[in-house]
Amino acid sequence: MDFISLFASLKFIKPEITISITLLLVVIFDIIFNENKKIVWLITLFGVFIALIFTSLNLLVEGYAFSPVDGSHNFGLLTLDSFGSFFKVIVLVSTLLILYFSNNSNEIINTGKRQGEYYALMLGMLLGMLFMTSASDLIMVYLSMELLSLSSYVLAGFLKLRDRDSEASLKYLLYGAVSSAFMLFGISLIYGLTGTTNLYLINLYLQAPQINYIPFALASIMIFAGIGFKISSAPFHFWTPDVYEGAPVAITAFLSVASKAAGFALFIRLLKTGFVLRSNEQGMWILSDIFDWHSLLIFVSILTMTLGNFSALWQNNLKRMLAYSSIAHAGYMLLGVAVLSSQGVVAVLIYFFFYMLMNIGAFFVVSIIADKYNSEDIHGYDSLGYKNPWLAAAFSIFLISLTGLPPTAGFIGKLYIFIALVDSNMIAVAVIALLNTVVSLYYYIRVMKHMYLVKPAENTETFSTSPSNLVYLILLSASVLLLGIYFSPVVNLAKQCVGILGL
C-alpha cells in the first residue's frame, strides 16, 4: 500500500502539529515544575507563536490533505485554502491576546498550581478550532467540534469555588450535549442518504437529480442546530449569557471571539463545499434547491441580532451585556453569510478581524475593573473617567467601535456587511440591521454615561493600571482607531483570502 499521500499531508498541518506538541510539553512541564507556572505559560505562548508563523507563511497554500490511500478520490478529511488560513490567523492571534490576558487576570492567577491545567485545556480548545477551520469531512467536523466543546465545558467552570461558575459549566455541558446529539443525528441522516461523509462527495450527490428533499432539509436543520449553538445564533443562544457571566473573563473573551470564529469558518465551509453547486460571474453562489438556506439564514440572523440587542438593553452586569452584544454581532455576521456570495464572505472576514480586537479589548477592561472591585456591575464604572482616564478612554473607544460608529474599525466592518447586502438587493434586511445598530447605541452609550457623567464623590480615589496592561490596551485601542481610518490592508488581505477550495 502507498502511504506517500499521508506523509505529503503532514506538511499541511504544521500549525496543528505544533499545537499538539505544545500541549504535550505543557502537560509534562506542568508536572516537572510544580511550583513555577510561568514556564508553562511561556511554553504555551511560544508554541502558539510558532503555529502563527507557520500559518502566516502558508497563507495562500491550497490543497487536500488526508485523502484515501487507495486513490478512489482526491478529497480528504481536511481542505487547506486561504479562507481557512485567514480564520486560523484570527484564532491564533486571539489566543495570543488571551494568553497575555489570562496571565494578568487575578481570577486565573489565584488558581495557583491549577494554571497548568488551564493552559493545557486552552491548547485543546485551540487545536479543535484549528481543525474546525479546515475540516471538509463530517467526521472531522464533529470530532473537532467535540474537542473544542469538551475543553470549553471545563474552562467555563474553571473557578470551582463560585456557584455561578459551576452553574455555567453545567449549563454549557447540557446545552452542548443536546445540540451535538442533534448534529450527530443530522450527520447520520446525510450518511444514510448519500453513503459518504465527505462534503465534496455529498455535493456531487446533490448535483444529481435523484434527491429526497425532506430528509435532507431535516438533516440540514439538525446540523445547523449544532453549529448555531457554537456561534450562539438565535434559537440556540440561551446558554450564552449565563455561561459568559459565570466563566472567568479571559475564557468569556476567548469563547466570544475564537470559538465563534471557528464556528463561522466551519459553517461557511460546510455551506460552500456541501450545498453550493457553482458560482456565477459576480461571485454569487448558486445553491442546490434542496434546502432554502437563504431564507433560513436571513430569518435566523434578524432574529439573532434583534433578540441580542433588545435583551442587552436591560443588563446591569457588564459581562451579561457583552454576552448579549456578542449574540447581536453573530447576527450581523450571519447576514454576511446569508448574502451567499464571495463578497459576503469578504465582509464576514473583515468584520471578524475588527470584532476580535474590539471585543477582547472590552473584556480586558471588564477584567481589570472586576479585579479591582470584585464585581462586574455597571456601578463599578461610575466616574471611571475621573478615577482612571486612560482606562475609560480605551473602553469608550471599544464601545464606540462595537456600536459601529466612525472613525473606528467597527464602522468599517458594518459598512462592508451593509454594502454586500445592498449589492445583492437585500435592502429591507439592511434597513433592519441599521435600526438594530441604533438600538445597540443605547446600551453601549449607557456605560459611557456612567463613566463620564456620574459626578465623583468627594473621597473618590484615583487608581492606575500597570504599565504593561496600559500598553496592551493602548495597542488594541490604537489599532481599532487606526484601522478605522486606514483599513485597506485588512480589506486587501480579506479579499485575497476568500478562496474556498470548491469542486
- Say how far apart CA 315 and CA 282 lie, in whole Å: 43
Q: What minimum distance in Å lies between the beta carbon of 173 and another protein?
A: 10
160 binds another protein (CB under 8 A): yes
Site for another protein in 200-259 (CB under 8 A): 210, 212, 214-215, 218
293 binds another protein (CB under 8 A): no
Task: Specify which residues 78 forms β-bridges with.
Answer: 65, 135
Burial 211-247 (b: 16+ CB within 10 A, else e): eeeeebeebbebbbbbbbbbbbbbebbebbbbbbbbb
170 vs 284 by CB, closer to another protein: 170
What is the bridge-based pairing of β-strands 63-65 and 78-80?
antiparallel
112 vs 389 by CB, closer to another protein: 112
Which of 139, 428, 431, 485 binds another protein (CB under 8 A)? It is: 139
116 vs 336 by CB, closer to another protein: 116
121 vs 400 by CB, closer to another protein: 121
115 binds another protein (CB under 8 A): no
Q: What minimum distance in Å lies between the beta carbon of 290 and another protein?
A: 13
C-beta separation of 78 from 17 below 8 A: no
Which of 40, 43, 48, 77 binds another protein (CB under 8 A)? It is: 77
6 binds another protein (CB under 8 A): yes
- Say how far apart CA 402 and CA 176 lie, in whole Å: 27
Q: What minimum distance in Å lies between the beta carbon of 264 and another protein?
A: 21
Which of 4, 31, 32, 161 binds another protein (CB under 8 A)? It is: 161
C-beta separation of 272 from 133 below 8 A: no
Which of 42, 68, 282, 299 binds another protein (CB under 8 A)? It is: 68
DSSP structure class, residue 460: P
Segment contacting another protein (CB under 8 A): 152-160, 238-246, 256-264, 293-301?
A: 152-160
DSSP string, 335-388: HHHHT-BHHHHHHHHHHHHHHHHHHHHHHHHHHHHHHHHS--BGGGGTTHHHH-
66 vs 285 by CB, closer to another protein: 66
Which of 153, 267, 285, 411 binds another protein (CB under 8 A)? It is: 153
What nine digits make up the cell of 90? Answer: 484570527
Which of 98, 147, 202, 206 binds another protein (CB under 8 A)? It is: 147
Closest by CA position to 482, among listed 407, 411, 415, 390: 407
192 binds another protein (CB under 8 A): yes
What is the bridge-based pairing of β-strands 276-279 and 285-287?
antiparallel
- Say how far apart CA 451 and CA 341 lie, in whole Å: 42
Which of 53, 59, 114, 475 binds another protein (CB under 8 A)? It is: 114
- Is residue 130 packed enough to be buried (19+ CB in 10 Å), middle (13-18) or exposed (0-12)? buried
- Say how far apart CA 138 and CA 389 lie, in whole Å: 50
139 vs 457 by CB, closer to another protein: 139
212 vs 375 by CB, closer to another protein: 212
Which of 157, 176, 241, 361 binds another protein (CB under 8 A)? It is: 157
What nine digits make up the cell of 179? Answer: 445540540
Which of 108, 121, 225, 473 binds another protein (CB under 8 A)? It is: 121
69 binds another protein (CB under 8 A): yes
DSSP structure class, residue 21: H
Q: What minimum distance in Å lies between the beta carbon of 236 and another protein?
A: 15
Q: What minimum distance in Å lies between the beta carbon of 190 and another protein?
A: 10
78 binds another protein (CB under 8 A): yes
499 binds another protein (CB under 8 A): no
Q: What minimum distance in Å lies between the beta carbon of 85 and another protein?
A: 18
Q: What minimum distance in Å lies between the beta carbon of 208 and another protein?
A: 12
Side-chain-side CA neighbours of residue 317 (13 Å): 12
Strand boundaries in 390-477, DSSP class E: none
Radius of gyration, CA atoms only, the chain? 22
With contacts defined by CB under 8 A, how many residues of the chain interact with another protein?
45
Q: What minimum distance in Å lies between the beta carbon of 132 and another protein?
A: 11
Sign, Cα dihedral of 487, 491, 494, 496: negative
- Say how far apart CA 167 and CA 37 lie, in whole Å: 28
117 binds another protein (CB under 8 A): yes
Q: Interface residues with another protein (CB under 8 A)?
A: 1, 3, 6, 9, 13, 20, 23, 27, 66, 68-69, 77-78, 114, 117, 120-121, 124, 127, 131, 139-140, 143-144, 146-147, 150-151, 153-154, 157-158, 160-161, 169, 189, 192-195, 210, 212, 214-215, 218
